[in-house]
Amino acid sequence: MFTGIVTDIGTVAAATQQGDMRVEVSTHYDVDTIDLGASISCSGVCLTVVDKAPGRVAFDVSAETVSRTAADMWTQGRRLNLERALKLGDELGGHIVTGHVDGIGTVSEWREEGGSHRLTIAADKELGPYVAAKGSLTVDGVSLTVNSVEDTPAGVNLMLNIIPHTAAVTTFGALQPGQAVNLEIDVLARYLQRMESLRGKA
């Protein structure tokens, strides 16, 4: 479990196919404090540490995970938002994040607005019922508040505001229109939507 508060930006140092994909990620974390089997969120994807070396951690990424995450995410040189798993007693600075990607969005707008940036993400309409204005959304592992939601015939547009601090401490500073991003809906919205869908069927 995570909070969506990024604590490091890692870089894919190597990605090799050996059954599953073995991905090595360079990090500023003190790897001596990371146990094998620990969970780390990599741009919103919960992965298990299977090996480590000074300045690097390694993960096995299944074909299922590759198919459900943003295109080119696991390529050498790709920068990733990293967050170590939440510990009992840690501050919950963002919201409850599981590290399970619910869908892929596409950046349709990224522009300066005042001192911040306006980010608009186009997503499939299936995600629409789970996202609400002033609700929480995880984008590439970052906990964000949704400014507004626009339903369209083709899907849903999600509008968010990115403050300078967030852009500086995450990969968002290099966002480009057309870029694919991992989306995770609020876990509470997931359960509420499920309950609503079953209302009256019992």
Task: Kindly report which listed range (39-53, 77-91, 130-144) carries the lowest average pLDDT score.
Answer: 77-91
Number of domains in the chain: 2
DSSP H or E run through 168: helix 164-169
Q: Which domain holds residue 54?
A: 8-84
What pLDDT score was predicted for residue 55? Answer: 97
Query: What's the whole-number average pLDDT of the chain?
Result: 93
Strands 39-42 and 79-84, how do they pair? Answer: antiparallel
Does the pLDDT of residue 86 top 90, yes or no? no
Q: Could you tell me the pTM of the whole model?
A: 0.92
Rounded average pLDDT over 140-166: 96
Which DSSP string corresponds to 58-116? Answer: EEEE-HHHHHTS-TTTTSTT-EEEEEEPP-TT----S--B-S---EEEEEEEEEEETTE
Please tell me whether residues 38 and 77 are part of one structural domain: yes
CA-based torsion, 110, 145, 73, 9: positive or negative: positive
Q: Tell which wins on pLDDT, 86 or 30.
A: 30
Categorize the per-residue pLDDT at 95 as very low, low, confident or very high, splitting at 50, 70 and 90.
confident
DSSP H or E run through 1: none
What pLDDT score was predicted for residue 93? Answer: 73
Rounded average pLDDT over 59-71: 96
Does the pLDDT of residue 193 top 80, yes or no? no
CA distances from 140 to 17, 22, 52, 195 (A): 23, 20, 23, 27
> Does 168 map to a domain?
yes
User: Torsion over CA of 39, 98, 28 and 70, rounded to 10 degrees?
Assistant: 110
**Other Cβ atoms closer than 10 A to 111:** 9
Task: Kindly report which listed range (23-27, 112-116, 142-146, 160-164) carries the lowest average pLDDT score.
Answer: 112-116
DSSP H or E run through 167: helix 164-169
What pLDDT score was predicted for residue 200? Answer: 65
What pLDDT score was predicted for residue 201? Answer: 65
Please tell me whether residues 78 and 132 are part of one structural domain: no
Please tell me whether residues 68 and 143 are part of one structural domain: no
Rounded average pLDDT over 139-146: 97
> Does 96 map to a domain?
no
Does the pLDDT of residue 202 top 60, yes or no? no
Residue 161 CB burial class (10 angstroms; 0-12, 13-18, ≥19): middle
CATH of the domain at 126: 2.40.30.20
